[in-house]
Structure 1
Amino acid sequence: MMTYKGYTANIEVDLEASILFGRVLDINDVVTFKAQTLEEARQEFQNSIDDYLEFCKELGQEPDRPFSGAGSRL
Structure 2
Amino acid sequence: MMHNTMTFKGYHGSVEISPDDDILFGQVLFISPLINYEAETAKGLEKAFQDAVNDYLTDCAQQDVTPEKPCKGSLNIRLGHDLHLAASVAAFQASMSTNDFIKRAVQKSVGS
Scaled by the length of structure 2, what TM-score is found?
Answer: 0.61
Equivalent residue, structure 2, for 1:26: 30
CA distance in 2 between counterparts of 1:48 and 1:72 reads: 29
The structural deviation recorded for 1:64 is: 1.2
Count, aligned residues: 74
Q: Which digits, 9 at most, give the CA deviation of each residue in 1:16-61, with x for residues without a partner?
A: 2111011111001111100000011001100000000001111111
Q: Which runs of structure 2 are paired with 1:2-41 in the superposition (5 Å)?
A: 2-41=6-45
Equivalent residue, structure 2, for 1:51: 55
Task: Using the TM superposition, name which of 3-12 and 59-68 deviates more.
Answer: 59-68
Which one has a larger percent strand, Structure 1 or Structure 2? 1
Q: Which has the higher contact order (CA 8 A, sep 6+)?
A: 1
Q: Which runs of 5+ in 1 are unaligned?
A: none
Task: Using the TM superposition, name which of 35-44 and 61-70 deviates more.
Answer: 61-70
CA distance in 2 between counterparts of 1:18 and 1:24 reads: 21
Identical-pair percentage: 33
Amino acid at match of 1:28: S
Asked which structure has the greater CA Rg, the reply is: 2
